[in-house]
Chain A
Amino acid sequence: MMTNTKLLIVLLLLLLAAFAALTVYSIGAIVAIFLVAMLSSFVISPVVDWLESRSMPRALASSIMLLLSLAAFMVVAYFLAPFVYEQVFALQERVSFGEMRRSIPSMEREIVNTLSFLGVKQLHFTTKIEDFVGGLFDNVLNIASGVVGLVIFVVMTLISTFFLLKDGRKLKKAMIEIVPNQFFEMSLSILHKIDWSLGAYLRGILLDASVIGVVTTLSMWLLDIPNFVLIGLVAMVANLVPYLGPPTAALVASSISVITLGDFSQVPLILVTFTLIRLLDDSIVQPLTISQSVKLHPLTIIFTILIGGQLFGILGMLFAVPIAGVVKVVASELYFGLKRYRAMY
């Protein structure tokens, strides 16, 4: 039976969690800058550590990495953004004026005839695809119009990343300094373990997503599927969402193929390729990049995605699972850390 003190602690923790969630929700942009900076510093810090081990001052190593990151971002933006924009534009052209207009209605008729026993009469494929691709195009335009906001976001994130890289250890030391003596060693141990596991987890999911992005792009290019870069990018980002991500990427690739060719001839090949990529990810890439201890239960993943989508839309769905992974890492390190020290005092 739960004692009153334990009940009070649980209630306080729930209140604290609710308060934290509310704060995150209300100052989303600032939290986003901090989160991206923290994520970037976790990813970059091994390189800064390596440069430091080669006798380079940490401030200089952090500056170099910051400039390199900025250069990488600009290179990606310069070469990839127009390319992606062009591919989305071409896709929209195909939908509006291309062969799809002629082929889709006949395909729709075939499907309606086949499924007539289910009472299916009209599917409105053309309108639905036009709406979807049009929305995609609008989103690209919205991003372009919000370029000033994006630049501010990037600059602020880079500055925050620089300071987290340079003074991260000082920050941790300052944090631990205010902990009472009684809990000092325990806090230090837990903080270190969280730091280590979180870094490994974030680097892992990013590396996994990048590998899948590159493999998908190459596979689509080899299969001669148009918009292969766009599909690769979708696969990379979608890979952040387990279970739902890979089928979504396969669906996007199949849709592009159908829109372009006007038939389903390449769809089976695309589906087989995506299944093979999935197998490659599950059997080789993920075991090498992501620790098994951070794996979440499928039910947790589904509810996390639903909550993320409900709170923050598409972006919420994308980042819900990585954030849940982070929460799991922090919670499990806290739990095991406290358990190890439970006999104390």
Chain B
Amino acid sequence: MSEEFESRNPQAGTPPHEEATFLWSNFFQRDREKDILTLLRGIPIFEGLGRSQLRAVERILHRRKYHAGEYIFREGDPGLGMYIIEKGEVSIVSESRSSEISRLGKGEFFGEMSMFNDRPRTASALAYEDTKVFGFFQPDLLSLLETRPSIGTKVVMMLSRILAERLYKAGQENARLRSELFMRDNAR
């Protein structure tokens, strides 16, 4: 477990000897903010947003820290929103099939389907190592659409584009599998 992770984990608390480090780190607040903005700019959902718009998005994101092995959410939980990985690795696992679906790293995101519906999560997200994530949730997106419609609309457009792309790919995959099944049936 890294020292930086431990010192900023709200559950772990801040040991006295690290307070000075924490205060000193405030001087580098701007650098940290710059890093966050660079990270967000690299995420497809926030593509095309200006600096001030990204800052507005950053204000509604929830920064969370998870220890290795800790669940971010579990299969079957009501979905509320998506997560963007700031640091660390997250394993997406199917508990019903006891298998890992994929492993995601810095800058990647997961759980985006829950931005648009309240269906239960279809897989679990588990911190593979000590991980920092940004949570972006449906209520915050709605609030963004109300208060900053220009930013909210862009984000919704990008999310829709990503989901449409996935739907298209899933459709293609479905068609391929159907044709394979058809050919197999004919060969028999």
Contacts and interface: CB of A to CB of B under 8 A. Distances in A.
Interface stretch (A2-10, A73-81, A172-180, A213-221): A172-180
Given A52-B148, A53-B148, A188-B62, A180 B76 contact: no
Interface stretch (B66-74, B101-109, B159-167): B66-74
Given A53-B147, A173-B62, A192 B139 contact: yes
B147 A188 contact: no
A49 B148 CA distance: 9
Contacts of B80: 185, 188-189
Contacts of A173: 62
Interface string B30-59: 000000000000000000000000000001
Given A53-B148, A188-B137, A177 B62 contact: yes
Contacts of A312: none
Contacts of B137: 185, 188, 192
Interface stretch (A146-154, A259-267, A337-345): A337-345
Interface string A180-198: 1110110011001000100
The SS class assigned to the A binding surface is helix
B64 interface: yes
B139 A188 contact: yes
Interface string B132-170: 000101010001001111000000000000000000000
A57 to B, nearest CB: 11
Interface residues of A, number: 23
A181 B70 contact: yes
Contacts of A344: 74, 77
B96 interface: no
Contacts, number: 56
B177 to A, nearest CB: 32
A189 B77 CA distance: 12
A340 B62 contact: no
A226 to B, nearest CB: 46
Contacts of A178: 10
A67 B149 CA distance: 26
B64 A341 contact: no
Contact of B64 (A58, A181, A192, A343): A181
A263 B71 CA distance: 76
Contacts of A343: 76-77
A261 B143 CA distance: 56
B64 A184 contact: yes
The residue among A58, A181, A340 with the most chain B CB atoms within 10 A of its own CB is A181
B107 to A, nearest CB: 21
Contacts of A53: 146-149
B171 interface: no
Interface string A315-345: 0000000000000000000000000110111
A180 B148 CA distance: 30
Given A53-B146, A53-B148, A185-B73, A177 B10 contact: yes
Nearest to A180: B11
A53 B148 CA distance: 5
B146 A181 contact: no
A344 B75 CA distance: 9
Given A182-B71, A185-B135, A192-B137, 10 more contacts: A49-B147, A173-B62, A178-B10, A184-B135, A185-B73, A185-B77, A185-B137, A189-B80, A341-B77, A341-B78
27 contacts: A49-B143, A49-B146, A49-B147, A52-B148, A53-B146, A169-B59, A173-B62, A177-B10, A178-B10, A180-B11, A181-B11, A181-B66, A182-B71, A184-B62, A185-B78, A185-B81, A185-B135, A185-B137, A188-B62, A188-B139, A189-B78, A196-B139, A340-B78, A341-B77, A343-B76, A343-B77, A344-B77
Interface of A: 49, 52-53, 58, 169, 173, 176-178, 180-182, 184-185, 188-189, 192, 196, 340-341, 343-345
Interface of B: 10-11, 59-60, 62-66, 70-74, 76-78, 80-81, 135, 137, 139, 143, 146-149
Q: Which 8 A-B pairs have the closest CB atoms?
A: A192-B139, A52-B147, A185-B80, A340-B78, A49-B147, A189-B80, A49-B146, A53-B147
